[in-house]
Amino acid sequence: MQGKTERRAWKRYETEADIMYARYLENPYCYYGAQILNRCENGFYFESRYALQPGAYICFNKAIYASTSRRSKAYGLLPVAVKWCKEIAAENGKHYGMGVKYLDSTDPNWQNGSTGFAVGAGQSPAGSPSRAGDLQFFNGGMKWYDRIITDLEQAKEIALSRADDLATLNRFALAVSSTLDLQDILLAICKEMVKKFNARNTGIGLLDADKSKITLVAFYSASPDEKDATGLEIPLGGNASTHYVIETGQTIVVPDVQHNPITRSIHDVFTERGTHCVMIVPLLARGEVIGTIGLPTSDPDRIFSPVEVALAQTIAGQIASAISNAQLHAETQKAKELAERDLEAGRRLQTGFFPETLPVKPGWEIATHFEAARQVAGDFYDAFELPGGMIGLVLGDVCDKGVGAALIMALFRSIIRIFSGQMGLHGLPVVQDEPGVCIEVDSSVTNVAQINALKSVALTNDYIAKQHDRMNMFATLFFGVLDPANGLLAYINGGHEPPFIIGDSGLKQKLDTTGIALGFVPNTKFKIKQIRLEPGDILVAFTDGVLEALSPSGEMFTKDRLMPLLDEPATSASGLLERIRDELQAHVNDAKQADDITMVAVQRSIDS
């Protein structure tokens, strides 16, 4: 700076650029800020509140060499050694001229320079005794036994300190493992940090998605009079200290935070709260910074030491993992709650597909029982009136469970109703004399209305097999059409569990399958058969969830338990279903229900 040529080499910045530097002779984590005014090939001219001595290593932010458009993402450390430093009088503060020697951060001399100090975490400047430093701090005039005593005392101090640190880490481990509730974890951590580091308070902030601000999600103060800072938003713009921590994942200690340029955007916050120094520790999860821990002091003379930084970083490693796990748990719970709400909505929707009321005919009783294994089910039943005074009785079981099965169930149920003639389109019947329907009618079946209604089974099969074949969904189905006037029941059993007819003396008849399950193959032929329900008879149909209901030991209910219940005389259809239900509940006990359970029973009264 003394020669004419050298002065011409200085470059004036169009705007004052913030720089960050660490005076490693004092504290490798302690960063100061300044405005760089000029620079040339081998020197800097900057304005700063903080003195800098020749011989020190400093660390600049590489961002000052980046273009303006890239500066915000260019955080990194540029190590230099101070060759000379001279204070220059100025009206608006102290200015310093400085000559530097650039250093390679991979150079061994940078890690252990000629000034005789190390910059690794937890170490102290040479010549300064520290509980985490080298014990070889000797006074040349001491006798050998005095040196041994001194070394032992220092060793004891180190051991006690490390024991205390281990106890601290154990308390933090217990705090973060005791619950998955994120707020409880964070508050417990804040309390422990205040206690351990004798900080005025502790705040934990999480980084938002676009990395523009930190929001305090937990806060604890040693003073009950200090205002809660939970919810405080700390912008990264104009806040080089926090931005540096986010970009590099390195801890920073910032002294004089009320005036330090690297905390410019939050000077008012620190001034209001009386903060003089703050340690900002990154929370790293899976290699990325997800937030920070801030520990401030109110003592203007106190600066967090490298030993304290090392401990805080160790604690932060435990905390970040716990926060990440708690966030994952919270997200999982939120997704689970959302899914449960959707399933509940699906359950209410599916319930609407079941008949609100059952047909009532003189001399007849219809009873049903339904238990879904999940919130939505694949089983379905229906009972509805048909043209000609007939009653349609449907019981089906879709091949799967859950939402997919529920959707197919709704489709089957709706198509059966439409094709059976229970409902028309624009007032016209859908099915009358359909020539292409693949059915075979037993010679005993002569009622045309029953035959036409049962054509819906073949039509439904063809529609599902042709239009929805890629879904690979099918359903077993029993569809009976009852003539209440004479007790004749025409039916098709498409691969379903055979229903039973029970008389006053027990089991009378089994209604075997007359075709395969619906939805497999188009143009499948189904046979219509017919039986007569005599006065007192009960028709009972059920899904395989009855036979396959599991006990706590994994044993199925099976027909061996069902058949004795059907052999006992029953006074009513509802009474028979209650008997079966009670035995099922006793068998299942507290075991998780494995499949949907559905039963339909129809009884003709004795005097009808």
What pLDDT was estimated at residue 318?
74
Half-sphere exposure of 364 (CA within 13 A, CB side): 21
What's the CATH number of domain 4-120, 2.40.10, 2.160.20, 3.90.930, 1.10.8? Answer: 2.40.10
Residue 67 has pLDDT above 60, yes or no: no
* 594 token code pair: 């494995």
Cβ-count burial 489-498 (b if 16+ within 10 Å, e if not): bbbbbbbbbe
Across the chain, what does the average pLDDT equal? 77
Between residues 505 and 553, the one the model is more confident about:
553
End-to-end CA distance of the chain: 120
Residues 6+ apart with CB under 8 A from 15: none
Between residues 352 and 413, the one the model is more confident about:
413
* 171 token code pair: 């308390």
Find the helix or strand (DSSP H, E) in which 255 lies.
Answer: strand 252-255
* 530 token code pair: 């017919």
* 123 token code pair: 């170490």
Residues 6+ apart with CB under 8 A from 144: none
Sheet holding 500-503, edge to edge: 364-371, 597-604, 538-542, 500-503, 506-510
What pLDDT was estimated at residue 34?
75
Q: What is the largest CA-CA distance in the chain?
A: 127
Could you give the 3-state DSSP secondary structure of residue 570? Answer: coil
The CA distance from 459 to 451, in Å, is 13
| Dihedral (CA of 62, 255, 161, 126) sign | positive
Residue 483 has pLDDT above 50, yes or no: yes
The CA distance from 337 to 559, in Å, is 38
What pLDDT was estimated at residue 588?
94
Least confident of 119-128, 187-196, 213-222, 278-287: 119-128
Query: Which of 268-274's residues contact partners 24+ apart within 8 Å by CB, and which partners?
Result: 269/232, 269/234, 270/296, 273/226, 273/227, 274/200, 274/298
Q: Are 233 and 247 in contact (CB under 8 A)?
A: no
Residue 603 has pLDDT above 70, yes or no: yes
* 587 token code pair: 């068998």
* pTM more than 0.75: no
For 425, which DSSP code?
Answer: B
Average of per-residue pLDDT across 196-224: 90
* DSSP state string for 437-506: --EEE-TT---HHHHHHHHHHHHHHHHHHHHSGGGT--EEEEEEEEETTTTEEEEEEESPPPPEEEETTE
What pLDDT was estimated at residue 157?
53
Mean pLDDT is highest, among 256-260, 326-330, 511-515, for 511-515
Residue 357 has pLDDT above 70, yes or no: yes
Mean pLDDT is highest, among 147-156, 254-263, 397-406, for 254-263
List pLDDT tens digits, range 436-478: 577 889 988 999 999 999 999 999 999 999 888 877 788 999 9
Report the candidate in 498, 515, 539 with the shortest Cα–Cα distance to residue 454.
515
Residue 183 has pLDDT above 50, yes or no: yes
Between residues 264 and 298, the one the model is more confident about:
264
List pLDDT tens digits, range 104-114: 545 444 443 33
| Residue 467 phi, psi dihedral angles, 5° rounding | -90, -25
Sheet holding 11-22, edge to edge: 11-22, 31-40, 43-47, 95-102, 77-88, 57-61
Confidence at 1, pLDDT banded by 50, 70, 90? very low
Confidence at 3, pLDDT banded by 50, 70, 90? very low
List pLDDT tens digits, range 575-601: 999 999 999 999 999 998 888 899 999
> Do the strands 597-604 and 201-207 form a parallel or antiparallel pair, or are they unpaired?
unpaired
**How is domain 353-604 classified at the CATH fold level?**
Phosphatase 2c; domain 1 (3.60.40)
Average of per-residue pLDDT across 304-315: 86
Query: Residue 168 is which amino acid?
Result: T
* 444 token code pair: 């005993």
Average of per-residue pLDDT across 35-48: 65
Report the candidate in 549, 530, 559, 580 with the shortest Cα–Cα distance to residue 368.
580
Least confident of 90-94, 211-215, 275-279, 541-545: 90-94
Between residues 346 and 281, the one the model is more confident about:
281
Give CA 153 to chain center in angstroms. Answer: 51
> Do the strands 526-532 and 439-441 form a parallel or antiparallel pair, or are they unpaired?
parallel
Confidence at 393, pLDDT banded by 50, 70, 90? very high
SS (H, E, C) 359-413: CCCCCEEEEEEEECCCCCCCEEEEEEEEHHHEEEEEEEEECCCCHHHHHHHHHHH
Give CA 441 to chain center in angstroms. Answer: 57
Domain parsing of the chain, residue ranges: 4-120, 164-328, 353-604
List pLDDT tens digits, range 55-64: 666 666 555 5
Least confident of 31-35, 203-207, 307-311: 31-35
Residues 6+ apart with CB under 8 A from 315: 168, 169, 172, 189, 193, 196
For 222, which DSSP code?
Answer: S
* 581 token code pair: 């239900």
* 130 token code pair: 């520290």
Please classify residue 171 by burial: count the beta carbons closer than 10 Å to its beta carbon, then call 0-12 exposed, 13-18 middle and 19+ buried: middle
What pLDDT was estimated at residue 347?
64
Q: Looking at domain 164-328, what is its CATH homologous superfamily? A: GAF domain (3.30.450.40)
